[in-house]
Structure 1
Amino acid sequence: MIAPPPTKSSLVTLCLARIAAALAGLSLLTSAALAGGYERVRLPSYDGDLDAVLYRPKGPGPFPAVVALHGCGGLFRENGKLSLRHSDWGERLAAEGYVVLMPDSYGSRRLGSQCGVKELTVRASRERVADAAAARYWLQSRRDVLADQVSLLGWSGGGSSVLAAIRTDRRPADERPDFTRAIAFYPGCRTQSDSASFMARLPVMILMGDADDWTPAGPCDFLAKAARRRGETVDLVVYPGALHDFDHPRLEVKERSDIAFSATGTGKAMVGTHPAAREDAIRRVKTFLKGS
């Protein structure tokens, strides 16, 4: 008899059980050598260890923390270096006093960029939600992290995972504190906006460009308005003229033609930095994470 595939909740439960078992025999502050201002660490997940990048403020802490989820391109560049967007945000948030953990959902499973892949094996609403739960649990097991002050942030596909992870029907299966708040940069909102069961259980801020032709703002606008009518705290910020990847430190405006799904259906989309939107988003993220 063939066993049924694991459900969303069973993935998370299996993940947390494995983390608890692994942590029982490990120092809570185990880490790899410093490299470029961050540490390379490994944390247990449901299907094996996850490689991750850890940024940490100076001092003993304890500190609030952020779990940050990469987009479809992954965490590292082809040369093995941490991508510029992730290093920029990691350093920036650490300077603001946050421990920042970035799990590598693709590289840990020996996968490269998934931007052009239509049949994903590591999905935004399943495996990556489990990875986010694993990252939260691992952080909350550290003495230098405030367990009740862990937020969730993601870009593009990682932003889609943020929206899936904060649904009321995806509450943590463990007894640890939940994420406190969430931020999604240019997520794909269509799946969640089309779902009758989407309800946000914690405050979320969505940041998008109105010129984004990869993950357009329309479905996110529909989702945010419907959520606010139900009394949920879902804020949407749409930047005029901004494209996908608008918060990148320095990405020349260009067309990408290696995309599995785009708003136009052509597999093409424009990306690039929008300095004004980037500056405003940085300010908003800092304010939002502080709960003000």
Structure 2
Amino acid sequence: MSRFLALLAFLTTAGAHPEHVRIPGPGGTQLDAALVRPAGPVTGSAVVALHGCSGPYPARDGNWAVALAQAGHPVLLPDSFGSRGLGSQCRVRHRSVTPSGLRRQDAIAAGEWLAAHPDLAKNGVALIGWSNGGGTVLATANAAADPPEGLFRRFVAFYPGCATRARDPAWAPSAPLLVLVGEADDWVPAPPCRTLAARYPDRITLVTYPGAYHDFDAANARVRVLHGLATPPSGSGQAHAGTNPAAREDALRRVPAFLDATP
């Protein structure tokens, strides 16, 4: 079963009633996406949610979609990899679908699709992403890259790779940005994110979690060591990932409050 189908199955089992939609993407690509609507009225911004380098991850992306929908947010989860016939990219060093390239274009296409549906986006559109998807959030938020004006009202990046943006003096967030990262993350370390947050304290809210690794907000994922990864800064190909219950609980409170805040 593909990761996208696994996501649909998870959401169905969770009672979220997902809809499989196809969104016109860059270069004529049709992006497969899961749409989760709130059971009640839409009271929050619509959310585009971007998966990490492994593709859709039900224990994390799916659980967040359910939680956000319960809080009144429609959630759209596009599959950037499966829609192009690609599997997990975590062990691929030279990738054709990158945060600053096609993934950024996918995020914009998904945001524009939501914005074209006033019943979903009457309160605006926000962009959330995890890891590689978090890096895509940073690329999409970049005011220097001429983002579509006013498309995204808020950005949330979970454990993004901040190093490239921290080295770029032209990078600046185009809207309020919340960054959440574990202090023990050895895949995408926190210090470059601290550099970014210090540069734009009026636009970036940085939350770091002591003892938390990558994927700290996934549900019931035991902490384990991943091998053969392409991007850990240690060069070993290894990094820890897994749930940190305290960090996850805080994020589940913090993110909806951030999305609901007035600009």
Using the size of structure 1 for normalisation, the TM-score is 0.81
In structure 2, the partner of 1:151 is 126
In structure 2, the partner of 1:39 is 19
CA RMSD of aligned residues (A): 1.9
5+ long unaligned stretches in structure 2: 1-7
Asked if residue 223 in structure 1 is aligned to residue 205 in structure 2, the reply is no
**SS across alignment from 1:40:** strand
In structure 1, the partner of 2:4 is none
5+ long unaligned stretches in structure 1: 1-31, 77-82
In structure 1, the partner of 2:37 is 56
Asked if residue 233 in structure 1 is aligned to residue 203 in structure 2, the reply is yes
Instruction: For residues 109-153 of structure 1, give each alpha carbon's deviation from its aligned partner in whole angstroms, at most 9, with x where no partner exists.
Output: 000000011101000111111001000110011131235511010
In structure 1, the partner of 2:113 is 138
Asked if residue 201 in structure 1 is aligned to residue 174 in structure 2, the reply is yes
Structure 1 residue 170: Cα displacement: 2.9
Structure 1 residue 164: Cα displacement: 0.8
How many aligned residue pairs are there? 250
Q: Percent identity?
A: 46
* 2: CA distance, partners of 1:63 / 1:92: 12
In structure 1, the partner of 2:5 is none
Maintained 8 Å contact 2:104/2:136: yes
* 2: CA distance, partners of 1:62 / 1:207: 24
Asked if residue 262 in structure 1 is aligned to residue 232 in structure 2, the reply is yes
In structure 1, the partner of 2:184 is 211
Asked if residue 162 in structure 1 is aligned to residue 137 in structure 2, the reply is yes
Maintained 8 Å contact 2:115/2:124: no
Matching of residues 165-184 of structure 1 within 5 Å: 165-173=140-148, 177-184=150-157
Maintained 8 Å contact 2:45/2:260: no
In structure 2, the partner of 1:25 is none
**SS across alignment from 2:170:** coil
Instruction: For residues 13-48 of structure 1, give each alpha carbon's deviation from its aligned partner in whole angstroms, at most 9, with x where no partner exists.
Output: xxxxxxxxxxxxxxxxxxx99944211110101121
In structure 2, the partner of 1:127 is 102
Maintained 8 Å contact 2:24/2:109: yes
Maintained 8 Å contact 1:69/1:154: yes
**SS across alignment from 1:144:** helix
* 1: CA distance, partners of 2:118 / 2:152: 17
Amino acid at match of 1:179: F
Asked if residue 111 in structure 1 is aligned to residue 86 in structure 2, the reply is yes
Q: Pick the structure with greater CA Rg.
A: 1
Maintained 8 Å contact 1:210/1:241: yes
Using the size of structure 2 for normalisation, the TM-score is 0.90
Amino acid at match of 1:239: Y
Amino acid at match of 1:219: P
More helix by share: 2
Amino acid at match of 1:186: Y
In structure 2, the partner of 1:281 is 251
Instruction: For residues 258-279 of structure 1, give each alpha carbon's deviation from its aligned partner in whole angstroms, at most 9, with x where no partner exists.
Output: 2101021100001110000100
